[in-house]
Amino acid sequence: MLEEISKFTVLLLVASTFLSCSRKISHSSGESLDIPPSSGRPPAYVQKAWEARYSYDADRRLLVPQYAGSRWGAVQQYKEEGELVYQDWWIRDVRSEDLEASPDTSITSFLNEDGNLTLIPQEAEDSFLEDNNTEQESTMEVDLKASEDEFPQSAEGDPDPFVPSPFSPF
């Protein structure tokens, strides 16, 4: 009896091993998360520009990006000074736009040395806004003086019950 149970267990393990190895993984959504290159979907414009291989045109000193036999991406040119400048952007052998020769790559940080955020300067472009702001400030000062006169503070200096006390960790 024990011998029959062990044979049945071995047979069950062998059968389950064959079945589990031959079964393909099925996703409930119908799409896999990693799309293989041969999935039938064409690559995006950005992917084509990223994967483009550059060919060098020695006569015009140009670096021309090629993807599947057509121009994709930014055409660059070597200048006599030795710098590399952008010329234009191509999509499928069609020139789509001119590019700035050397775009500004400076990064402005709004963090100071301590890592705190600094105030971002706002420049008023319209003089009307500046005039309007000065009028509002003067009316606010008058309103504050009037409100102080209407609600005098208590003579004893009792603290306001709605103002929380300052936090002290000790």
> Residues of the chain with pLDDT > 90: what percent?
1
Cα(84)–Cα(78) distance, rounded to whole angstroms? 5
* Prediction pTM value: 0.38
Task: Report residue 12 CA to chain centroid gap.
Answer: 53
pLDDT, average across residues 116-140: 56
pLDDT tens digits for range 54-65: 898 888 888 999
pLDDT for res 126? 44
- Length of the chain in residues, anyone? 170
Please write the tens of the pLDDT for every residue from 65-120.
998 888 888 888 888 888 888 888 888 888 888 887 776 667 777 778 887 877 76
DSSP-assigned letters across all residues of the chain: -HHHHHHHHHHHHHHHHHHHHHPPP--SSSS-SS--TTSSPPPPHHHHHHHPEEEEETTTTEEEEEETTEEEEEEEEE-TTS-EEEEEEEETTEEEEE--SS--------B-TTSPBPPPP-----HHHHHHHHHHHHHHHHHHHHHHHHSPPPTT-PPPTTSPPPP---
